[in-house]
Amino acid sequence: MKSRRSSGESNRRRTPQRLLVFLSPSTRPILGALFAAAVAVPSATAEAQTWRIQSGVSAQETVTNNVNLQPNDARQSDWVTEVTPSLRISEKGARTSLSAFLSVPVVLYARTGSENNNAYPSADVLGDIKLIDDWLHVEGQITVQQQFFNPFGGQPLGLDNATQNRVRSDTYRISPYVKGVTPGGTIKYELRNNNVWSEVVGAPVSTSDFYYTQFTGHASNTQSTIGWQADFETTDLTVKDASTFRSRIARFIPLYDVDPQLRLKAEIGYEENNFPPQGSHDAVYGAGFEWRPTLRTTVTGLWEHRFFGGAYQFSFDHRTALTVWKVSLSRNITTTPQQLANLPAGGDVSALLNGLFLATIPDPIERQQAIDQFIRDRGLPSMLSGGLNLYSQQILLQESQTGSVGLLGTRNSVILTIFNIRSEPIGASGDLLTPLLSINEANRQTGVSLLWSYKLTPSVVFDATLERFRTVAIAPQEAKSNQTALRLVVSTPLSAKTTLFAGARYQTLNSDIPSDYNEAAAFVGVNYTFR
């Protein structure tokens, strides 16, 4: 990781150009507009900018006995080469900020190259430009993720397994917003307009693009024991060549601070929904709390009456010097583009390590650098498997329960995640549409992932990852799928910049829909960081 001051116009323009070459042509205009505005600010701002850039590359060779994840009578072995360049950029200036991570794994096959050779780009780019001090901003984000399409299909551990179930999701967002405080400093407010474009690329069936525009408003006065908060949200979601879904909701929320750690709140409001061919309107009411018993513990809860019945949200976050605990429960409506804009359910290894490293590394940029190095040195996956984002041209009612725990010891580190997610399409009347639609939209996904890392010696680390998850269709449909995967890795640093790793994996699928399979593979690789 390098930290340096910008030295003038040429340096300010050069770094964005390097970033743009990693993105597809369709993403460049959006991000390019952000950078153009960033470099257009006065030169005095440039002097306050700090760029931090970290890049690396990894190479892995894999031998597999079932490259295409086929049944035993059709399996095919192969030798697979995977090369992954990656780039992380952070920038913080008086008027601008940028956080970007880009990687482009390139996968080459010795025997099946003509049908399987491919590149799997991923990106998470978030930028903010302050156009008027302490008031007007423009925020933009580009997210490119490799995901799976069918929750009943194969979800292999690595990119070196070729599968038609793997898809790429692209999400682009532009959000102008204003935020500030009224004279006297008693009322805080924010108005935001989110414009989001989403698409799924490479799906085994024809898919439509999504666009939604959302206006949100928030105002609050929390300076006294009795305070208040007001919110509104309007959303228009358009599915290309299909329908437009509209929702409007407004809430007024009285607040009462029992003490500095506990806040109680009630809410009352109104909503209108139009999900063709239905429409509805109803009152909204509920109650909740926010409790922070310590600086390291936060518990929040909310229940409210909505057009589909009871909606709720509950979260528990707690950390110590060596542990982090997270629990989340919810019942609410969601859409495909909203899911694509977020990480799927499951264990975000980087996020859990962030909680573990928070006490020792307060600077967020330096902390992310340490997390990235920790993941590379120990050969850890960045994400443990979780529930899939579901492709649907309907509004989904989703109930979700997830839990994660991370333990960091001198020689042992453990990350455990569990999830249970039930999804069903729903109409504006609150009636479920399950009997009319496919099992890909109405199902329950449950699973558990366990990651154990053990230091065999001060320089040699052993990692074991075990994943088990199950998908079951919701009646009247009938289908189920069970997947199990085990991955073992040994890694050791060769130098301050280089880490060598080797390992093996075994994975199986038993499903009513695609064909069953099992696969065994061995691999060896190296990670190198440019500093």
Q: What is the pLDDT of residue 467?
A: 93
**What is the arithmetic mean of pLDDT over 494-509?**
93
Look at residue 435 and tell me whether its pLDDT is greater than 70.
no
pLDDT of 146 above 50: yes
Residue 381's pLDDT band, with cuts at 50, 70 and 90, is low
Mean of pLDDT values over 271-300: 94
Range of the domain at 14: 2-530
10 Å CB burial of residue 277 (0-12, 13-18, 19+) is exposed
Tokens of residue 119, six digits: 């590149």
CB 489 within 8 A of CB 131: no
Model confidence at 526, in pLDDT bands (50, 70, 90)? Answer: very high
pLDDT of residue 385: 64
Exposed/middle/buried for residue 9 (C-beta within 10 Å: 0-12, 13-18, 19+): exposed
SS (H, E, C) 79-112: EEEEEEEEEEEEEECCCEEEEEEEECCEEEECCC
**pLDDT-derived band at 35, boundaries 50, 70, 90:** very low
CA 501 – CA 80 distance, rounded (Å): 16
Across 504-520, average pLDDT: 92
Q: 504: Cβ–Cβ under 8 A, 6 or more apart, which residues?
A: 487, 488, 520, 521, 522, 523
More confident residue, 265 or 374: 265
Res 15 pLDDT > 50: no
- Structural domain tally of the chain? 1
Q: What is the pLDDT of residues 177-203, one digit of tens each?
A: 999 999 888 899 999 999 999 999 988
- Copy the structure tokens of residue 78: 């192969």
For residue 24, pLDDT beyond 60:
no
Q: What is the per-residue pLDDT for 67?
A: 96
Q: What is the pTM of this model?
A: 0.83
Would you give the DSSP letter of residue 389? P
What is the rounded CA–CA span in Å between residue 349 and residue 156?
Answer: 18
Q: Percent of the chain having pLDDT more than 90? A: 60
CATH of the domain at 357: 2.40.170
User: pLDDT, tens digit, for every residue of 382-405?
Assistant: 666 667 888 888 899 999 999 999
Judge whether residue 134 has pLDDT over 70. Answer: yes
